[in-house]
Amino acid sequence: MTAAPAASSTLPAPDQAPRPSLWRNGPYMSLLTGETVAAVGQQVAQIAMPIVAVTYLVATEMEIGVLNAIPGLAFLFLSLPIGAWVDRVSRRKVMIGANLVRAAVMAAVPALWWAGALSVHWLMVLALVVGVAQVYFDMSYMSMVPSLVDRDQLDDANSRLQITAETARTAGPGLGGLLAKVVSAPVLPLVTAVGYLASAIAIWRIPRDEAPAPREGSRLVAEMREGVTFVFRNVYIRPVVVATTASNLFSTIGMTMVPVLLLRELGLGSFQFGLLMTAASIGGVLGALAAPRFSRLFGQGHAIPVTYLLEAVAFLGMPLSFLLPRPGAIALIAASQILGFFSIVAFNVVQVSMRQRQCPPRMIGRMTAAIRTLIWGVGPLGALASGVLATHLGLGATFTIAATGNLAGVVLLIRSPLWRLRSVPDPEWLART
């Protein structure tokens, strides 16, 4: 287990120059700009692709489940080796390459549509390629942020990245729904392709980073094992990872069927669907803004289970909506999505900053890989389970199972040391540097 050394002060020494504002940090601002533009494009695709699958290609519930499962397979099987690998290479180059691949895949959707060849099976192939590229990007992205800002700026840096991303996501669904009324939904992934290209250009403006030198005699498999061992031996990171894994499994079971519920069962149009997703994203913006305040109000340790608890309570609105008439059901789903996005974004900002502080910079990629293998690797299981449950038990039972299982993470975090801590102690390795 990781010992809990006394927390060290993060105040600068009197003779140190004040740290520059994050807004004046050129490399960080390039990353921030690129991610903001890409987030708008991603959210347009988040609206367009379900419309394409459900409305244009008339995909079954099982096919929707498989489509949602495929990207997670890449995280399940590739996160560990890719995470160890990005700790040895230029993360900037990996992120640029991943964005270019994703842009090409998104451009292929309208090309196949115009050729009359687009099918659910093609969507599955493209989803797999995007999933693989996403693994490369995310492993590098999570490792790059701590290298661009000072350690005591991580809360603000992650919060601002999340704020701008959620602001973009607020505009994205409404924009996607509006564009879907003007042009065919299969054409909209072109907007996503442009967003990825813009992100690649912004990241290209970040100064070149040096590939970290691997330790003498180190092997990739040993480094992968080191990342997994670090995660499960750290008494603060371990409960967060286990709880988040449970949450992602059951949340995916429910969220996979949200387009089917809204578009097919409740009869929302493309524009209304986009507006509801926009409302949910507004909750995400507010959650990103509130995350540093949660840390100050509850302490970084206690803020993690508190924000998780809010998300679990919000998710209960999904099965309860089946007890209401159509207008009330739509209103409750909207409220559930807003509060859910608010709390889960706040939770992510606080716990990611805690993880980055706990982990030595040389192995952030491996730590991230070990965590993503679990928390995103269960996504395919949840998506497939969602398709099976919805097919055999119906949508109401599917959302009830999802909401009930999602509460399990609350118990795990309340029983962890984080529930009793205001401040998470600094790790031992920091005192030795």
| pLDDT digit string, tens, across residues 100-109 | 999 999 999 9
Residue 8 has pLDDT above 60, yes or no: no
Residue 96 has pLDDT above 90, yes or no: yes
| Most trustworthy range by pLDDT among 182-191, 214-223, 238-247, 279-288 | 238-247
pLDDT attached to residue 7: 36
pLDDT attached to residue 403: 93
Residue 242 has pLDDT above 50, yes or no: yes
Q: What is the mean pLDDT of residues 270-281?
A: 78
Structure pTM?
0.68
- φ and ψ at residue 427, rounded to 5 degrees: -75, 160
pLDDT attached to residue 171: 63
pLDDT attached to residue 332: 93
Residue 286 has pLDDT above 90, yes or no: no
Q: Mean pLDDT of all residues in the chain?
A: 82
Residue 187 has pLDDT above 70, yes or no: yes
DSSP state of 88: S
In this predicted structure, which of 24-33, 126-135, 330-339, 389-398 has the lowest mean pLDDT?
Answer: 24-33
Dmax (CA) of the chain: 68
In this predicted structure, which of 107-111, 165-169, 201-205 has the lowest mean pLDDT?
Answer: 165-169
For residue 366, the SS3 value is helix
Q: Name the H helices within 149-212.
A: 154-182, 189-204
**Hey, CA dihedral for 294, 305, 22, 135, is it positive or negative?**
negative
pLDDT attached to residue 217: 52
**Hey, CA dihedral for 395, 401, 407, 408, is it positive or negative?**
negative
pLDDT attached to residue 363: 78
pLDDT attached to residue 433: 54
312 HSE (CA, 13 A, CB side) = 23
Residues above pLDDT 90, as percent of the chain: 23
| Most trustworthy range by pLDDT among 5-19, 157-171, 238-252, 373-387 | 238-252
pLDDT attached to residue 147: 78
pLDDT attached to residue 133: 93
Identify the CATH number of the domain defined by range 25-212+219-431.
Answer: 1.20.1250.20
pLDDT attached to residue 366: 80
Residue with the larger pLDDT of the pair 422 and 382: 382
Distance (Å, rounded) from C-alpha 12 to C-alpha 427?
Answer: 19
pLDDT attached to residue 170: 64
pLDDT attached to residue 429: 61
* Distance set, CA 178 to CA 36, 48, 267, 272 (Å): 20, 11, 17, 9
Burial of 223 (0-12, 13-18, 19+ CB in 10 A): buried
Q: What is the mean pLDDT of residues 294-305?
A: 84
With bands split at pLDDT 50, 70 and 90, how would you rate the model's confidence at 39? confident
With bands split at pLDDT 50, 70 and 90, how would you rate the model's confidence at 163? confident
Distance (Å, rounded) from C-alpha 76 to C-alpha 375?
Answer: 9
- φ and ψ at residue 209, rounded to 5 degrees: -100, 150
Residue 388 has pLDDT above 60, yes or no: yes
Residue 156 has pLDDT above 90, yes or no: no
For residue 77, the SS3 value is helix
pLDDT attached to residue 11: 39
Residue 25 has pLDDT above 70, yes or no: yes
Q: What is the mean pLDDT of residues 133-155?
A: 80
